[in-house]
Amino acid sequence: MDFTLLDERLKGKTEVGLLSTEECNHMIKPVYDYIKANHPHIDTFLLHGEGMLCPLKAKGFEFFVLLGIYCPLHPFEDFVGITAQLPEEDMDRLKKEERTIVYDSGYGGHHVMKEGMHGRDVLVVTKNQMFYDYYFYKYNAESFYKLKSRDRMQYLGSKCNKGRKIRDLQIFAIIFTSRAYEELAKSIRKALISRRKNAYLLFLKDLSYERMITIEGTECIVVVDCPFFECSLELHIPVVTPFEVEYALSGEWKEFDKNSFSVQDMAASGCTDLDAIDRVGRILLRSDGQSVPFSYGEEDMDIHVGQNGTPCRYDCEGA
């Protein structure tokens, strides 16, 4: 950590989110102690990141100190992070590379573009497995530091299999984890409804098993989230990404991107039998023991304060 830079960036700040991944936990105490000793007027909050740091996964703060690799797709607005210097031997090897080179934030977070990201033309310089997995699954990239490569075809094949399995399902819950993905979630819902399926939207930052298992009255959950994060929860119903929904509706696999969705809405058929059921809440009413409060009136896109407790017994209001 460059403490001189940290001092400069903390001028005028009143609160700081100290956000760390598990691999950088050893840095939390010295950085926290330094801030409290040299900037006692600043409120410092300790935060934990899962594998990588992404602003979509963290509470909002005036300023962040990032201890770990951060997401290149969703930049933090005001922050200071940690960097590492590549050994000269590694730098010499990289200078000879003809491929597109992708560096994580610890090594500058930039791309050295060659002929484009296709096939084995991408080399990823990182020691973070999540960062590498994203480029491996999307571009079949190679790891400079020889990180573990999973079975890419098995992974992509499982995505397509899920797409085929959900093709005939009728009730979808679309969960978006950030306002950044609200429009994408709406477009998925619109495409499903145009095909006379039922879909409703949920804003949910916490994708824990305990929360997901309480979602009743649906046949499939669509998770719209930062693609660097993998939702691997095993539920009694399919949990998919926009990619699987696109494959289910179009039957085509153009290229892999978890949040890829370019399916056109279907024209209205004129059939009113199912169109009369214009709110998923009406279908949810058929569920036995459905104790979660909901309504099927006019669409409400505001995000409201949630509640603590179990679905059948809420204790108090919660965030």
Are β-strands 100-103 and 79-81 bridged in parallel, bridged antiparallel, or unpaired? unpaired
Beta-bridge partners for 256: none
Q: What is the mean pLDDT of each run of 10 residues along the chain (319 residues)?
A: 90 93 92 94 92 91 94 92 90 89 87 56 93 92 90 90 92 92 94 92 86 86 94 88 92 85 72 49 50 53 66 54
Question: Rounded to whole angstroms, how far apart are CA atoms 14 and 61?
Answer: 10
Residues 283-305 have pLDDT tens digits of: 555 455 444 555 545 566 676 66
- The pLDDT value given to residue 280: 47
Residues 118-148 have pLDDT tens digits of: 555 899 999 999 999 999 999 989 999 999 8
- The pLDDT value given to residue 67: 95
- The pLDDT value given to residue 318: 45
**Helices of type H across 124-208:** 129-139, 152-165, 182-194
For CA atoms 48, 50, 51, 52, the dihedral sign is: negative
> Taking all residues of the chain, what is their mean pLDDT, rounded to a whole number?
84
What strand order describes the sheet that includes 15-21? 43-49, 15-21, 64-67, 79-81
Largest CA distance in the chain: 70
The type of residue at 133 is: D
For tokens 């950044």, name the residue. Answer: 180
How much is the pTM? Answer: 0.79
Of 278, 277, 313, nearest in space to 292 by CA: 313
- The pLDDT value given to residue 274: 47
